[in-house]
Structure 1
């Protein structure tokens, strides 16, 4: 008992010392961070107006495989959102559609609506990625033309890419700026261009990247290769536009098929209130609903596969 008092005092003093040291380390680190932010904001390298939400969730999510996949898809879409924000918003949307489906239709449709919400969130990212890729493909002839003119003027390929990033609009300018920044910090041209082709997959971009890499390695006639490539990309651009126009009706039908099924369920439930709840109250009714929804999904996938033409 006599030794307990000095032991308590010693532990208390030690905790106080550690607390003071921790507070000093935190204050000095915070001051260094503020100084760094002030220095970078004065040079325009960061934007103080963009305060991110859910930073703790974002840090934890980036360490997982799911977070890395989400981050890769978000980088390809060009959306100004972090993986943590996207994950939180998706969870809120899933909870919302679960509650809405369970209250409007029946409790059985809650989990099905949640699964549809997960699929819709992934489809949303894929749609934005495809849209950005299509926009980038549309700018490929202009990219090739700018690189050819810059190379013909005597500039190196690295300088030509940086100049094209400044002259072209988004998404080409933003993507080429990423490549130029990677080259500025020491990455090789092959790695930077290969990452660009992986981020925005398309045959046209692969051809352009292969042309630039081979010309950089072998030292061939970059100007003539880019000139010929510009003509080819212009022709492919027109062909893709014609094919997209011809398949617009088929793509609309693919989305109309599942919409008709969902609309029919809502119509039946509005005519006979509680009909879906009574139908899904038995095992046979649940199996019938799952089979019908699966057939609608199969029809959607089949129409999309049939209308998909690789150019």
Structure 2
């Protein structure tokens, strides 16, 4: 091979390498952009968390998400709107259980340690239920405004998907956050029924079910969606005022339901302070332990009965 042929071959290989390098960089840039777009959508729908504060206990969190308990816990946390992973919540719950166990064992008697630990689990579950219910109540209070915005946007000739996107930008949390998830699900190909159904599953309430049913039926069969939404807005306003009046009238009853078990636990501290070691002697026999368990069970029944009687479904 002469020198001219060698120069031509080297030049051709160099040009081919440059072309392949440019194509590789272009493919890398496109893949990176697509990945970032996918991450943004999944982050908005709550399936992954990107940015923000650094996450703790990542290994435990990954293992926990694979279990049935972890999946249910993740859904419950998503409904509360808390910025916490299942792994973090599980560790904090265990720390609370351990702390209450030690406090109950040290201040009362060794028998009360496991009972205090069970109380820690109950407190964690009730905390999630309270956060979830508070978020649902806030969302219900925003439903009249949401229905009014959807009616105005639909009357102006906008599609329902576009109206939901506009409402997600205009409304504050939690309605804005939840509608953003719905809009992102619609953007990646989910049907209107599935996206709104997931919203109703995350924040279950009669008012939201009525709104979702109205939107789904209107999207399927068409019809007077504007008139239906305006009538629904008036109904939601009336239900909002009714719920507020009922909550005000039942506030004292709800406070009583929590005061009953607090008085029971306070009596234990009072007994132990009057005569040191009284709880140790009382729980030192099977009969005393059985009496304590029965008394705690009666307090729990009383708490549940008061809560049940004070619950009025509107």
TM-score of the superposed pair, with normalisation by structure 2: 0.85
1:231 corresponds in structure 2 to 234
The answer on 1:110 being equivalent to 2:110 is no
1:29 corresponds in structure 2 to none
The answer on 1:69 being equivalent to 2:72 is yes
Query: 2-side partners of 1:86 and 1:220: how far apart?
Result: 46
The answer on 1:97 being equivalent to 2:100 is yes
Runs of 4+ off more than 3 Å: 43-49
The answer on 1:203 being equivalent to 2:206 is yes
1:152 corresponds in structure 2 to 155
* CA drift at 1:143: 0.4
Q: Give unpaired runs (5+ residues) of structure 1.
A: 1-31
1:268 corresponds in structure 2 to 271
SS in 1 for 2:158: coil
* CA drift at 1:50: 2.1
Equivalent of 1:141 in 144, 148, 158: 144
Q: Deviations over 1:50-82 (max 9, x none)?
A: 211111000000010110110010010000000
* CA drift at 1:258: 0.2
1:171 corresponds in structure 2 to 174
When the two chains are superposed, the root-mean-square deviation of aligned CA atoms in Å is 1.8
Query: 2-side partners of 1:295 and 1:48: how far apart?
Result: 48
* CA drift at 1:36: 5.4
Q: Matches of residues 44-83 of structure 1 in structure 2 within 5 Å?
A: 48-83=51-86
Q: Matches of residues 212-231 of structure 1 in structure 2 within 5 Å?
A: 212-231=215-234
Q: Deviations over 1:211-261 (max 9, x none)?
A: 000000111111111011000000000000011111111000000000000
Query: 2-side partners of 1:213 and 1:40: how far apart?
Result: 31
* CA drift at 1:278: 1.1
Query: 1-side partners of 2:256 and 2:32: how far apart?
Result: 55
Query: 2-side partners of 1:148 and 1:105: how far apart?
Result: 60
* CA drift at 1:40: 4.3
